Structure 1
C-alpha cells in the first residue's frame, strides 16, 4: 500500500506548490478534484492533463486519478428521470475518463451525493436502474483507456442513495462492466453500523481504492477512529492500492494535515 493525498487539501495553492509539499511529506501520488483545476471542468483539455502529469512527475509523484467528479456544473445527475440530463452527465463522465487517462490516472472515485439523490416521488428501483445505465455509459468509455470507475457509498447525512457497500456492490453488478468497481471511505463506512474491518473483508472482491479520513472531517489519526483493525483487514485481503488521505475540514492547515495523516498511517502500519 502506498500513500496519496487529495489536491483540494491545499485550497488555492499553485499545483507546483501542492506537488512540492505532498512529495516532501512523503506521499507517492495525488488524487485530483476536477472542479479545483478549472471553473468549468468540461473545458479541461488533453494539454491540461499532460501539463499536470509532467509537473507531478517532476516531483516524483503519480496522479492516481480523480474524485468529486460531478461537483461542477451543479446540475449533473444520474438518477433523475430526465433523460437529457442523464445523457449530459454521462457525456461529462466520459470526458473525465479520457482526461484521467491522459494524466496517467487509473481511478475515478464516483461520490457526488447531490448528483445522485432521489426524490420521494421516484420509484427507488427505477432510479437504481437509471443510475446503473448512466454509470455503464461512462464505464464503457473508461474501459477503453484502462480507467476504473470506483463507486463510493456515502453516509445518510450526505445522500439517500447508495449508503452502504453492499448496496453499491449491487449497483456495480447491475452495471456489469469490468471498469465499474467499488470505493471505500472510512468516514462513510463509519455510518454503516458495521465494523469497518468487516466491510473491507466482505467487499474484498470489489473495492479498488481507499480513502483514509475520520468522521470528524479530518485526516486519519486526527479523530476517534482507530486504524489498527482497518490496516489489518486491508492486509488480510491483500489490498495493493493507495491509502488516499481525503479531508473536509482544512482549518488545521494543509501542511499539518498532510504530515499528521501520513505519520499516523506509517505508525499504524509499522513502516518508516
Structure 2
C-alpha cells in the first residue's frame, strides 16, 4: 500500500519490529524482514529510534556502559547493512546531564572514532540528529553535528536534518542547508508532536523543500510521523504524502 501511493523506502525502528534487538536477534529474522519489505516494493532506508528499548545504555554513562553502548550501536550497524539500509539516525537518548559541554564533546568524539573504525566496512552511515532542547541537551544545532562530522572526517559519519528541530532551534535558513550540503545524507520531514505534515502551521515545508532542491540533495526525505488514528492509520499518511509530493518531490 505504501509503494502504491508513492513511498519508495522505509526507515525502521528496530524495537517496533523485534522484541529483542540484540542478543536474540538472528540473521534469519533480519533477512526475513528485508524480504518482506522488498516484496512490498520498498527498500530499507536505514534505522531510527536506536536506543528506544535500551534505556540503560548511553554514550554519557560510565565507561562500562559506554562500551556496551558502542557494542550495541555496532551491532545495529550490521543489522542496517543486512537490511540493505544506509543511515543510522542517533536522536534521543544522548543526554549529557551534569557533564559540561566540552567534556561531553570529547567523550562523543572518542566514542564515534571507535564506532567508525569498527563499522567502516559495513557501508553504513551514523548521523547525530540535531534536536530541540526539550529532547536533548547535546547537539541541538545542525552546526553542532557538523563540527563533529568535520573533525572526525570519515564517510561513516555524516549529517541529518530534522524539519521540526530546525524550527525549534531557530535554524530555518538557507545558510544551514548551504553549509552542510556536502555532508547531508538524510532528512526528516516532520512536525512538532509528529503529527501529519502541514498540520501545525509551524513548519514551512515549501521553503525547506526548496532548499533541498537548491543544494541538489538527492537522497531520501523520510516522513517521521506517529500513528494518529489506530482505526485508520493510513488516513493521515495519505495527507502527509500529498504534502511530501507537493513540496519535496523533484
Give the TM-score, by structure 2 length.
0.92
Seen in structure 2, the aligned counterparts of structure 1 residues 240 and 85 have a Cα distance that, compared at 3 Å, is same
Q: Any idea what the Cα deviations from partners look like across 1:116-142, whole Å, max 9, x if unmatched? A: 11122x232111111122223222233
Q: 1:102 aligns with which of 82, 93, 97?
A: 82
Residue 55 of structure 1 deviates from its aligned partner by 0.9
Give structure 1 regions of 4+ aligned residues with deviation exceeding 4 angstroms: none
Match of 2:239 among 260, 265, 269: 260
Preserved contact between residue 221 and residue 265 of structure 1 (Cα < 8 Å): no
Aligned to 2:109: 132
Higher relative contact order (CA 8 A, sep 6+): 1
Aligned to 1:163: 140
Aligned runs of 1:169-184 on 2, under 5 Å?
Answer: 169-184=146-161
1:66 to 35, 38, 47: 47
Structure 2 match to 1:51: 32
Matching residue of 2:13? 33
Q: CA RMSD in A?
A: 1.8
Q: Given that residues 128 and 139 in structure 2 are in contact (C-alpha distance below 8 angstroms), is that contact kept between their aligned partners in structure 1?
A: no
Give the whole-Å Cα distance in 1 for the aligned partners of 2:109 and 2:96.
Answer: 14
Partner Cα separation in structure 2 for residue 261 and residue 32 of structure 1: 18
Match of 1:239 among 217, 232, 242: 217
Partner of 2:97: 119
Taking the aligned partners of 2:175 and 2:121, their CA distance within structure 1 comes to 33
Structure 1 unaligned residues grouped into runs of 5+: 1-20
SS at match of 1:63: strand
Number of aligned residue pairs: 247
Cα distance, 1:249 vs. partner?
A: 5.6
Shift of 1:39: 2.3
Structure 1 CA distance, aligned partners of 2:195 and 2:180?
24
> What TM-score do you get using the length of structure 1 for normalisation?
0.85
Is the deviation greater in 230-239 or in 170-179? 170-179
